[in-house]
Structure 1
Amino acid sequence: MATKKKKKHQFPTAYTVIIIVLLLVQLLTFVIPAGNYAMIAYDTSNKDFVVTRPSGKKYKEPATQATLKKYKVNIAVKKFKDGTIYKPVAIPNSYERIPNLWQAINQFFTSQVQGIAQSVDIIAFVLILGGCIGVVHANGAINSGMQALSKKIKGKQVLLIILVMGLISLGGTTFGLAEETMAMYPILIPVFLLAGYDTMTVLGTIFLGTSIGTMISTINPFSTIIASNTAGVNFARALPLRITMWVICTVVGMIYVIRYAEKVRKDPTKSVVYDQYEEDREKYLNDADFNKPANFTWQQKLSLIIFGIAFIVMIWGVQQKGWYFTEISVVFLTAGYLMAIFSGLSEHKVVQAFVDGASDLLGVALTIGLARAVSIVMDDSHTSDTIMHFFSQQISGMSPLIFIWFLFIVYIILGFFIQSSSGLAVLSMPIMAPLANVVGIDRASVIDAYNWGLGFISLVAPTGLILMSLMMVNIDFNKWFKWCWKLLVIEFVLCLVALGVGLLVY
């Protein structure tokens, strides 16, 4: 008698994980009361302040320092006028309850559609990027490049991890390099596989690089700078500790990745994703024979040069010109046109390659939109401010060390729901920063707790970048957590120690 084969349990896909999180957040809106802080924003057209009461009623105030003092907002008025503070800022001690909006069933579905609509600029970037990669693959540029690279990286594999992770972490800590790293996966995956590593090594190198960099932000304008300005402190004074912390965390991250990567290179069965090891090599290396001499055509070389220049222009634009996804999408779309002209492929093959490449990243694009839906539910249900108000009441009156450690944990929780660094800064700093004066510590410590708490939870928060990154390498979330949980413990302890040191040096 034949026995039934037991089905292997599979971890839910990224889509399902986000839907589960969205459903749980939606259910929380029935439990958490709705409420708002009053907000103050600078109107660039009329050159005055607009104050929005918790009820939603708006009125104008003169754009003066006296107005900010009146509302106990400890920010220089010039920071609003020169665009440094470009989002509405919460007014301390202004929280009020508002009637709950019971629209859960409708909101659950509409938020997903709205999330995709509101993320259209990022989605366009991902699809255009996928199309460009499709063209580069189609004319054989990547395979030829891998053949040329195969001999050069032998014995130097570790340098790949150090160089890539170090540069990405540097980009994260200085100008907030994050979503833009999506462009790096399709190019670096075959390079790392060729070096004998696996896709988890690629994920660890790229995602940990950007996560550690943005977590230990030094001069990142989207987190440290805006948070410091909103808290009314000079960010430069706290730089020595933050730079030291960034170096330590980056080195620890590199060691963690390298130890694992070298185990896999020496014995592939040690890979956390060994069950897909051969499948990944077949997919990304296309069964290319790297023992053959490289046969680089000028069209292939030019395609890779154009694609490389697009990366350089993207990084320059984001860092120097403040570009966002519309601008960098234009960069890669332009690169796509140039590659189409010089690829050596027929018009039909170019179009088909572009469409196929874009379709490969369609799942990533949809995940980005679904993740945005969680923030929409939080905003529309007016529960974010309630959570903020609750925690601000709990932490006042504590001893300095317990206060800063507890605040770090508070920001881990807040960061799960509010992944926007600038959004969390302008909402929380006017509320949390004054509490530092109450317990007798420097406000710079509050900036650290905010940065490190938000950055720590981003390593695993489904509402952040991790699920999109996992889809780029086709790895399940449970495998990622199994791989990184020890590093999470190490980083958590490092943050607690550094926060304690901050109390002594600030």
Structure 2
Amino acid sequence: MKKIKFPSAQTVLLIIAAFVALLTWFIPSGQYDRLSYNADENTFVKTSSELTETLEASQKTLNDLGVKIPLEKFTSGAIYKPISIPGTYKELESRPQGFVEFIQAPLKGIIAVADIIILVLFIGGLVAIVNFTGAFEAGINRLSAVLKGKEYILIIAVTSLIALGGTTFGLAEETIAFYPILIPIFLAAKYDAIVVLACIFIGSQLGCMISTINPFSTIIASNAAGINWTTGFLSRVIFFFIGLLACILYILRYARKVKNDASKSIIFDQKEAIEKMFAFQKSSKEIDFNLRLKLVLIIFTLCFIVMVYGVSNLDWWFLEMTGVFFVGALVIGFLCRINETVFVNTFMKGASDLLGVAFIIGLARGVTVLMENGLISDTLLFYASSFTEGMPKGIFINVMLFIYSGLTFFIPSSSGMAVLTMPILSPLADTVSLGREHIVNAYLFGNGLFNFINPTGLILAALAMIKVGYNKWLKFVIPLILILTLLSMIFLTITVYF
């Protein structure tokens, strides 16, 4: 009997899109009114399904609307997206998504994330240029010699640094740039591709999950809840290091098994194919790690440093990040005197190698398009807010954790989740005599836990980078998710009572 093969990431996303389209036929359409701040005119704009009206930008207006957020959160720019207005949910005429909408959704998704797709393609081009120079092979050979017997340092360093990026400035989508360079390094250290995926993806997701000062989650969620983001900061810092330690130990345990016996790898059946794809072919004679190749790797590394600095300090986004990698490729081409035709062909080949990843990102966005057009996210939020009435606070906060995990499938954006749900769900803390920082924590942990496996998030794109199936990832990560879920529940329970 022929073994049934797990579908590709693209097929998984199309199945999920079909499921979401089906849900729009059964879940009632509904929406909360939205409130946004117009800085140019210093007014509030209230938008509903029937009309749009301009209101005075005052604390009285907020109080009258039942929005328990200080006015300065809006006027300072801390809240820059439209928020949901409590008590305004209403069912709307059903907007089921049919066959035409299902077909158009992936296309709309690709258009919506064109900036991310272009970034991915240019990263592929840059990596191909650096690979062409031989700098990767020479550098990895040198690194392998230096770390011989101490390869575990790679796991600790990469996971920790990326987690720090996640917890401070929300390092997530940008990590796609790290896979092409780190995969060969980890393979040279006798680990498998799952280990490098774990270090990068788990590192970034844990950082975003236990965010300390991440402006795209903790700060915007705290502002939308009407509290200062520093409330609960110290406890989150402590929990971040506990969570990071758990993740590193989990990855190290698996990595040690694979290093000692390659057959223990979850993806052992793909070992040769992945190594052929990513491990550099050994030359007949070892490449001299000369000054020019060192400069190539320095320029390549500087691209990432400049990218991180720009995102965290200069308000850069995907356009600027793409420009950095493009300039890096051009500089390396001039430095190594690569023939113009060879440069273009090599760059295009590298970009085409990541075209599948780019399409996965667009398809994932297409699922979100169906949810938004079907108007079912607010309906789920409305019923979730009604579900927790009258609960003891210990049970309440843990139920909120799982509510946020469920909502993450329908609202994968952390900042979008914050502004849509916090004005509705954070006042529930008042009813059980809890500080609203506990709701912020439940939002962070619930959102973060599901994003480890969320097919509408980044995981399928990351898996496509290393050519590993979603089922293999689930087999690896589910035990860790259970550990982190238990730790999160213990943390939330302790903090609400002490």
Both proteins in one fold, TM over 0.5: yes
State the 1:322 CA deviation. Answer: 2.4
Counterpart-to-counterpart distance in 2, 1:168 and 1:211:
9
Of stretches 78-87 and 471-480 in structure 1, the one that deviates more from structure 2 is 78-87
State the 1:479 CA deviation. Answer: 0.5
Counterpart-to-counterpart distance in 2, 1:344 and 1:284:
25
Aligned with 1:85: secondary structure?
coil
**Are residue 37 (structure 1) and residue 37 (structure 2) matched?**
no
TM-score of the superposed pair, with normalisation by structure 1: 0.96
Give the counterpart of 1:468 among 449, 461, 467: 461
Aligned with 2:146: secondary structure?
coil
State the 1:70 CA deviation. Answer: 1.1
**Are residue 417 (structure 1) and residue 400 (structure 2) matched?**
no
Counterpart of 1:454 in structure 2 is 447
> Given residue 451 of structure 1, which amino acid in structure 2 is its aligned partner?
L
Counterpart of 2:282 in structure 1 is 288
Give the counterpart of 1:27 among 6, 13, 22: 22
Cα deviation digits, residues 53-82 of structure 1 (max 9, x gap):
2x2410100111111111111112222122
Cα deviation digits, residues 237-263 of structure 1 (max 9, x gap):
201211111101111000000111011
CA contact (8 A) 1:147 1:289 kept: no
Counterpart of 2:209 in structure 1 is 215
State the 1:102 CA deviation. Answer: 3.6
Counterpart of 1:3 in structure 2 is none
Aligned with 1:296: secondary structure?
coil
> Given residue 318 of structure 1, which amino acid in structure 2 is its aligned partner?
V
Counterpart-to-counterpart distance in 2, 1:179 and 1:87:
20
- Calculate the aligned-residue CA RMSD, in Å: 1.3
Mapping 1:266-415, distance limit 5 Å: 266-288=260-282, 293-415=286-408
Cα deviation digits, residues 34-65 of structure 1 (max 9, x gap):
01101100112322110002x24101001111
Counterpart-to-counterpart distance in 2, 1:331 and 1:227:
31
Counterpart-to-counterpart distance in 2, 1:297 and 1:7:
52
Counterpart-to-counterpart distance in 1, 2:280 and 2:325:
24
> Given residue 296 of structure 2, which amino acid in structure 1 is its aligned partner?
S
TM-score of the superposed pair, with normalisation by structure 2: 0.98
State the 1:129 CA deviation. Answer: 0.5
Give the counterpart of 1:244 among 238, 242, 245: 238
Counterpart-to-counterpart distance in 2, 1:348 and 1:148:
31
> Given residue 489 of structure 1, which amino acid in structure 2 is its aligned partner?
L
Counterpart-to-counterpart distance in 2, 1:359 and 1:86:
36
Counterpart-to-counterpart distance in 2, 1:123 and 1:152:
36
Aligned with 2:54: secondary structure?
strand
Give the counterpart of 1:68 among 46, 54, 62: 62
> Given residue 33 of structure 2, which amino acid in structure 1 is its aligned partner?
A
CA contact (8 A) 1:37 1:385 kept: yes
**Are residue 97 (structure 1) and residue 91 (structure 2) matched?**
yes
Mapping 1:221-260, distance limit 5 Å: 221-260=215-254
Counterpart-to-counterpart distance in 1, 2:422 and 2:293:
51
Counterpart of 1:482 in structure 2 is 475
Structure 2: runs of 5 or more not aligned: none
In percent, how many aligned pairs have the same letter? 43
Of stretches 78-87 and 124-133 in structure 1, the one that deviates more from structure 2 is 78-87
Aligned with 2:36: secondary structure?
strand
State the 1:298 CA deviation. Answer: 3.7
> How many pairs are equivalent?
498
> Given residue 7 of structure 1, which amino acid in structure 2 is its aligned partner?
K
Counterpart of 1:48 in structure 2 is 43
CA gap of 1:377–1:56, structure 2 versus 1, over 3 A, is: farther
> Given residue 462 of structure 2, which amino acid in structure 1 is its aligned partner?
S
State the 1:293 CA deviation. Answer: 4.8
State the 1:148 CA deviation. Answer: 1.8
Counterpart-to-counterpart distance in 1, 2:417 and 2:439:
13
> Given residue 29 of structure 1, which amino acid in structure 2 is its aligned partner?
T
Counterpart-to-counterpart distance in 1, 2:97 and 2:273:
45
Counterpart-to-counterpart distance in 2, 1:339 and 1:388:
50
Counterpart-to-counterpart distance in 1, 2:404 and 2:22:
21
Aligned with 1:31: secondary structure?
coil
State the 1:186 CA deviation. Answer: 0.4
> Given residue 387 of structure 1, which amino acid in structure 2 is its aligned partner?
L
CA contact (8 A) 1:299 1:344 kept: no
Counterpart-to-counterpart distance in 1, 2:50 and 2:190:
58
Counterpart-to-counterpart distance in 2, 1:204 and 1:344:
37
> Given residue 46 of structure 1, which amino acid in structure 2 is its aligned partner?
E
CA contact (8 A) 1:139 1:344 kept: no
**Are residue 159 (structure 1) and residue 153 (structure 2) matched?**
yes
> Given residue 27 of structure 2, which amino acid in structure 1 is its aligned partner?
I
Aligned with 2:2: secondary structure?
coil
CA contact (8 A) 1:140 1:300 kept: yes
Cα deviation digits, residues 371-411 of structure 1 (max 9, x gap):
00111111111111000001101112211011111111100
Cα deviation digits, residues 441-491 of structure 1 (max 9, x gap):
111110011000000000011001110110111100110111111111101
State the 1:504 CA deviation. Answer: 2.4
Counterpart of 2:183 in structure 1 is 189
> Given residue 374 of structure 1, which amino acid in structure 2 is its aligned partner?
V
Counterpart of 2:436 in structure 1 is 443
Aligned with 1:218: secondary structure?
coil
CA contact (8 A) 2:24 2:97 kept: no
> Given residue 39 of structure 1, which amino acid in structure 2 is its aligned partner?
R
CA contact (8 A) 2:184 2:280 kept: no
Counterpart-to-counterpart distance in 1, 2:459 and 2:221:
24
CA contact (8 A) 1:399 1:439 kept: yes
Counterpart-to-counterpart distance in 1, 2:27 and 2:411:
16
Counterpart of 1:178 in structure 2 is 172
> Given residue 306 of structure 1, which amino acid in structure 2 is its aligned partner?
I
Counterpart-to-counterpart distance in 2, 1:384 and 1:38:
13
